[in-house]
Structure 1
Amino acid sequence: MLADVPPNVVQVGWIEDPSEMLASIEVLLSTTPTEGMPNVVLQALASGTKVVGFANAGMSEVSRRYSSGNKYVRLAKTGSVDELCGLLVEALEDDSEVVADVPSMEEVADEWKTILLGDTASRMGFRNNAE
Structure 2
Amino acid sequence: MAVSEIAERANCSDESARTHLSFYADLGIVIRHEGRPVRYERNDEYFEWRRVNELAREHTVEELQIRVSELTDRIETYCEEYDADSPADVDVLEFDAAQIDDVYVDLGDWATAIEERRLHERARRKAAGSTAPSHG
TM-score (norm 1): 0.27
> Greater share of helix residues, 1 or 2?
2
**Rg comparison, structure with higher value:** 2
**Greater strand proportion:** 1
